[in-house]
Structure 1
Amino acid sequence: MRFVPSVTAASTLLAAALLVPATSANAAHAAAAAAALTCNGSAAPTIGTGTPNTSMNNKFTSYGNSNALTDDWTGADSTYSVKLADGRTVFGFSDTFLGTVNANGSRPLAIQDGGTTPFINNTFVVQSSGGTLSSTAHGGTASSPTALLPPRDDSHLYWAGDLTTNGSTEIQQPYREYKVGSGDLNVAWEDNVLARFSTSNLKQPISITPLPSSRKIMWGSGLMKADGYTYIYGTEDLGTDGKHMYVARVSGTDLRGQWSYLASYGSNPTDPADDTWSTSESAALRVLSGVSNEFSVSRRGNFNILLTQDTKLAFSMEIDTYLSCSPAGPFGDEKTVYNTPIAKPDGTPYNDADLYTYNAHAHASLSSANNLVFSYNMNSLDFTTPAAQKDVYRDVSIYRPRFVNVPVTG
């Protein structure tokens, strides 16, 4: 059975124990940003150390274990979110287990491994305006569920990106399409697409349209609205040559509009007015190295906080923040705010060397003025046979998001 979370593992396996050096351009931009910790007269916020968000962790534990319906969510990864105008919050997931949970906390085998549990590549989980996780949205039917974005054939799949709203009744979400080969880690990115969903029908996209893909940048790692634009952040995954951040933007809130790509910081990297933007994807500037395949940028007053899992070292457990005066960077003042424990939601260690964490990003929908909430994912490199002995079947809590609170003051 393929676990696409290993898309992240595939490159880090090849780069095990390698330190990915920053380019001289990145170093210069980081130095400029580090010196620019006053933005429009405001001092930089103080970012504290993260602690588990027990409320959200308990909420997803209860929802995943409820066994209310046979097509219910029992675990997934990616974990993006967006708050709707009607007060609901939609969580976007990539690979997802549906079905039920056994009394001992294990998971029945997936259909792909000869069992009965549905395993599909992307879903939504909806939180009501009152804060209750109320439903799982997927394609197909309850008895035969499919992904929200079913693949074009058995050799492809769609991996979810960040979520944003266009108006009050539409969700837009970039997806990355992958070609799947044989074996758990044999996947390769092919292109990006945009899916649009009506907030009144989250089970079927309104449309699917191509997104820029010529530079092999996986657009949709993060999205943020600011200053009349929607900023689109992307990751270029070069395996042993590291993972690199790029920035594009579109005027307004519709990602189908004309994209512009950050091409240069100009002679004064601390002044966003000096930035150069191009309508050609080929001109896109490598902004920062060491980001993850999924990350986030959040607006805090006059500052922008980039939060990412540090990938300069393979299988790093460090969650870092960077600061910038502009949504496009340059980003500097790197700070480690959390080290992900290999532990259950209650803090009990798993004591399992196969487990790893990945793809941390913040949730504007859950954060407040003095608290930044982020999530990260956990998975396993256990490819044991028979399948029933694999970690993700043995303990459902492994393959579920973890939420963390980070205090932010100033």
Structure 2
Amino acid sequence: MAAASVTAIGTGPAAATRADCNAVRTNWTAQAQPHAAPESLLNAYSDTGKGWTGADSTYSVALPGGRTAWIFSDTFLGPVNPDGSRPRTTPFLNNSFVIQQGQTLKTVTGGTASNPTALVPPPANGWYWFGAAQTSDAGRKLDVVALRFEKTGSGQWDWRWAANYLARFDSRTYKLLSLTPLPSTANVQWSGWLQRDGGFTYVYGVEDLGASKYQHVARVRGDDLTKPWEYWTGSGWSADETASVRTLEGVANEHSVTRWSDGYLLVTHDTKELFSRRVVGYFGCSPTGPFVKPVELYQTPETGGNRITYNSHDHPDLRSGSQLLVSYNVNSLVSDELYDDVSIYRPRFVGVTLQAAR
């Protein structure tokens, strides 16, 4: 039996009922500045070959003590050859952290220095990729949504998403404390973004159908994702995951929804185009949208030939005033290129200034 729908609680943006706001009424224009910090810092660290040398996902979480945890999925470690190539024997892990304290970076993995492993060890016949993350328990825990994938054959593309989990770490020692199953029955990867707002944590997921990708929205009260979830039905909230509705087509598996002006800004790669170079922003008056009036924020110059760019999103804790800090990932469809040139498989950062059109 489907669970009964419940209406939004409270007033203001958290109630997901507003339909008109300045964020949507305004016609926004974007100016972009590539190579924003911390791009050069990460590049220089990668060039040393003493730890992390490249990865994707690129989420960030502010930790106590002025630290930033950079959350990565598929990760190369050092060394790096003098000509900027990687040895074919370089370690490759499915997830890792890089911890930033000021201008100092350190790599955090599982295992040992001589035998590093993923922070969340791979299950039989699969692996975990990291998604959005946040702190909980007054900053004492670092919570990362971990997507479990499983192999379906021996080919390079013979794999599929299997389930969502919450990987909980001690935010001081980075030790994995628990791995807890999260809702996974609606074919939604609930890992796109986490946004605290009005006493709730909103969870943004993606229904990935290959050629088409659709955003879905859930939420929990407070900041503990192991507590009961509610799902946006288009008119209210339901405890039934299968009642979740599509809120936007064309989002990337990793994107962001953050406060902007008196509403919300969604930043994503445009997945309506195959291997798109377009980073776009949408605007809404509530955490559930509707997200409308797309504005092109940037075109990634690396896209073309074997090179692809993907999974752009904002880093609201690292904004410079009102300037967004948007990251995106770069990869190659030919894996040998990632060994030939260490600089390809690194995140790029762009400062984006949004202004009202005159």
Normalised by the length of structure 2, the TM-score is 0.90
Distance 2:354 2:320 in 1: 9
Which residue identity is paired with 1:38?
Answer: N
The correspondence of residues 59-138 of structure 1 with structure 2, limited to 5 A, is 59-67=41-49, 69=50, 72-109=51-88, 115=89, 117-128=90-101, 131-138=102-109
**2:28–2:295: 8 Å Cα contact kept in structure 1?**
no
2:345 is matched with: 399
**2:22–2:261: 8 Å Cα contact kept in structure 1?**
no
Write out per-residue CA displacement over residues 338-362 of structure 1, whole angstroms, 9 at most, x where no aligned residue: 111118xxxxxxxx61111111111
1:300 is matched with: 260
What's the CA shift for 1:163?
1.0
Unpaired runs of 5+ residues, structure 2, are 1-16
**2:214–2:249: 8 Å Cα contact kept in structure 1?**
yes
SS in 2 for 1:83: strand
- Is 1:199–2:171 an aligned residue pair? yes
1:365 is matched with: 317
The correspondence of residues 315-354 of structure 1 with structure 2, limited to 5 A, is 315-342=275-302, 353-354=305-306
Distance 2:132 2:307 in 1: 25
Distance 2:279 2:96 in 1: 25
1:231 is matched with: 202
What's the CA shift for 1:301?
3.5
Distance 2:155 2:350 in 1: 33
Paired residue for 1:51, among 33, 42, 47?
33
SS in 2 for 1:77: strand
**1:295–1:361: 8 Å Cα contact kept in structure 2?**
yes
Paired residue for 1:147, among 118, 121, 136?
118
Write out per-residue CA displacement over residues 11-39 of structure 1, whole angstroms, 9 at most, x where no aligned residue: xxxxxxxxxxxxxxxxxxxxxx9x83536
Unpaired runs of 5+ residues, structure 1, are 1-32, 110-114, 266-275, 344-351, 384-389
Paired residue for 1:256, among 183, 203, 226?
226
Give me the CA root mean square deviation: 1.9
Label 1:303 to 1:45 Cα distance change in 2 as closer, same or farther (>3 A): farther
**1:82–1:364: 8 Å Cα contact kept in structure 2?**
no
Which residue identity is paired with 1:36?
Answer: D
Write out per-residue CA displacement over residues 231-258 of structure 1, whole angstroms, 9 at most, x where no aligned residue: 1000011123x00000001111111111
Which residue identity is paired with 1:338?
Answer: Y
**2:278–2:296: 8 Å Cα contact kept in structure 1?**
yes
SS in 2 for 1:174: strand
Identity across matched positions, percent = 44
Write out per-residue CA displacement over residues 221-276 of structure 1, whole angstroms, 9 at most, x where no aligned residue: 11111111111000011123x000000011111111111000123xxxxxxxxxx0
Paired residue for 1:36, among 20, 23, 26?
20
What's the CA shift for 1:43?
5.6
SS in 2 for 1:89: strand
Which residue identity is paired with 1:89?
Answer: T
Which residue identity is paired with 2:20?
Answer: A
Distance 1:38 1:54 in 2: 28
Paired residue for 1:377, among 329, 336, 342?
329
1:311 is matched with: 271
Which residue identity is paired with 2:172?
Answer: S
What's the CA shift for 1:45?
7.6
Label 1:368 to 1:354 Cα distance change in 2 as closer, same or farther (>3 A): same
Paired residue for 2:246, among 264, 286, 295?
286
Label 1:63 to 1:169 Cα distance change in 2 as closer, same or farther (>3 A): same
SS in 1 for 2:294: strand
1:165 is matched with: 135
Distance 2:114 2:27 in 1: 50
What's the CA shift for 1:364?
1.5
Which residue identity is paired with 2:312?
Answer: A
Write out per-residue CA displacement over residues 50-83 of structure 1, whole angstroms, 9 at most, x where no aligned residue: 221343221111010123x3xx000100000011
**1:75–1:96: 8 Å Cα contact kept in structure 2?**
yes
**2:36–2:325: 8 Å Cα contact kept in structure 1?**
no
Distance 1:43 1:311 in 2: 25
2:126 is matched with: 156
Which residue identity is paired with 1:136?
Answer: T
Write out per-residue CA displacement over residues 150-195 of structure 1, whole angstroms, 9 at most, x where no aligned residue: 1112x20001011111122111111110012323222200000001
Which residue identity is paired with 2:229?
Answer: W
**1:163–1:173: 8 Å Cα contact kept in structure 2?**
yes
